[in-house]
Amino acid sequence: MTHDRRNFLKVFGLSVGIIATEVLSPAQQRAIAKPSTTARKILVAHRGASAYAPEHTLESYSLALKQNADYVEQDLQITRDSELICLHDLTLERTTNVKDIFPSRFREELVDDKTMRRWYVSDFTLREIKQLDAGSWFDVKFKGARVPTFQEAIDLVRGKAGLYPETKAPEVYGKRGFNMERLLLDALRKNRLDSSRAARHTPVIIQSFSPESLRKLSGALKTKLPLVLLVGEENPARWLTATGLAEAKGFTSGIAPAKALLDTNLVTQAHALGLSVTPYTFRSRNTGRFKTVNQEMSYYLYDLGVDALFTDNPDLFPRAPVD
Ligand code: G3P
Ligand code: CA
């Protein structure tokens, strides 16, 4: 096990070297089955403090830092001139005024028999994207906020919290001739964030829904950084079984499932393999059966025993159990 991965497991309060419950003493098995309430829980600011400021803007990231995020998340996309930028969608129209600034630069697509107009990031240069307003859609008080580059996110966050970049739709970019994983590692290397030394002040965890992307990062590209596999509600059976978790263990340090997929048994199984568990996404505007998002996060952290979570509301992250 590499130094970086060992540090990562320590951060998440997991025991290094525990492979399966059958090699544990009964006391150790009981300890694993009972979720830890003492290990420090990790707060990942989802798209920044995105409940309060437009997602993936420097304004949202700054607020997340003020709200004591341990990590700030960046979803990555690639511009026509190969720059990594922070944006959730492959296209610009939901979170910017691209339709007003570049009204004719769309591609038409057929979606459910309807023709849709899409303004793809990869059809625009960084210079063009920097002309867009990425704040007004959220609230007029954020008018003029810009889409940040990954480098700008690094410059803002480094030394204050960790970075949690996601390779977003890497296969789509691959078909268009881009190598997202290489661009990401090059950026981290250039900033000296690919070593365990840097990790003390600015740890980096790479996440993806794409197992191929993570396999490429740890295999061909040989990164030693911790990797986390996102698991969506569409395909839980592929990864959230004893076999799936054991396979994931081959190329990740942890799993990050949609929160609805989690139960104590799954957390116990993942921990027994040394995998961290980081569910997504906790937000005050959607708390399901819980009265508040604070209570919901507390349940997942201290009752189910997850190690970390993604939230739009970093200020409401419970550092101790709440009733
Ligand atoms: O990366 C964790 C969570 O952000 C996954 O969902 O769609 O918000 O990127 P999404
Ligand atoms: Ca994400």
* pLDDT tens for each residue of 211-261: 999 999 999 999 999 999 999 999 888 999 999 999 999 999 999 999 999
Q: How far apart are CA 306 and CA 286, in angstroms?
A: 19
Cα angle 3-4-9, degrees, rounded to a multiple of 5: 95
Smallest CA separation from ligand 1 atom 5, residue: 280
In a domain, 137, yes or no: no
**Does pLDDT of 30 surpass 90?**
no
Q: What is the pLDDT of residue 35?
A: 45
Structure pTM?
0.91
Rounded to the nearest integer, the mean pLDDT of the chain is 90
Residue 248's CATH number: 3.20.20.190
Looking at the domain assignment, is residue 78 inside a domain? yes
The residue to mutate among 56, 73, 90, 166, having the most atoms of ligand 1 within 8 angstroms of its beta carbon, is 166
According to the model, what pLDDT value does residue 8 have?
Answer: 54
The answer to whether the CB of 166 is under 6 A from ligand 1 is: yes
- Token pair, residue 58, equals 């420097």
- Encoded tokens for 34: 């009972």
Domain assignment present for 165: yes
State how far the alpha carbon of 270 is from the alpha carbons of 148, 220, 240, in Å.
35, 26, 9
Q: Could you tell me if residue 300 is inside a domain?
A: yes
pLDDT, one tens digit per residue, over 299-311 is: 999 999 999 999 9
Least confident of 23-27, 87-91, 179-183, 189-193: 23-27
For the ranges 21-30, 162-171, 258-267, 281-290, the lowest mean pLDDT is seen at 21-30
Domain of 188, in residue numbers:
3-90+146-316
Is residue 292 in some structural domain?
A: yes
For a mutational test of ligand 1's pocket, the pick from 44, 75, 208, i.e. the residue with the most ligand atoms closer than 8 A to its C-beta, is 75
Question: What does the alpha-carbon distance between residue 300 and residue 75 come to, in Å, rounded to a whole number?
Answer: 24
State the total domains in the chain: 1
| Ligand 1 near 89 CB (within 6 A) | no
Domain-embedded: residue 125: no
> Cα 137 vs. chain centroid, distance in angstroms?
23
CA atoms within 13 A on the CB side of 249: 21
pLDDT for position 32:
40
**Does the residue 230 lie in any domain?**
yes
Q: In the structure, what pLDDT confidence band is assigned to residue 196 with cuts at 50, 70 and 90? A: low
Annotated catalytic sites, by residue? 46, 88
Peptide bond into 57 cis (omega under 30): no
Q: What is the pLDDT of residue 21?
A: 33
In this prediction, residue 323 has a pLDDT band, given cuts at 50, 70 and 90, of confident
For residue 207, give the ligand 1 atom closest to its CA: 1
Is residue 69 assigned to a domain?
Answer: yes
Decide if pLDDT at 141 tops 90.
Answer: yes
Question: From the alpha carbon of 166, which atom of ligand 1 is closest?
Answer: 1
Alpha carbon of 240 to ligand 2 centroid (Å): 19
Are residues 181 and 148 in contact, defined by beta-carbon separation less than 8 angstroms? no
Largest interatomic CA distance in the chain: 66
- Answer positive or negative: Cα dihedral of 297, 256, 40, 205: negative
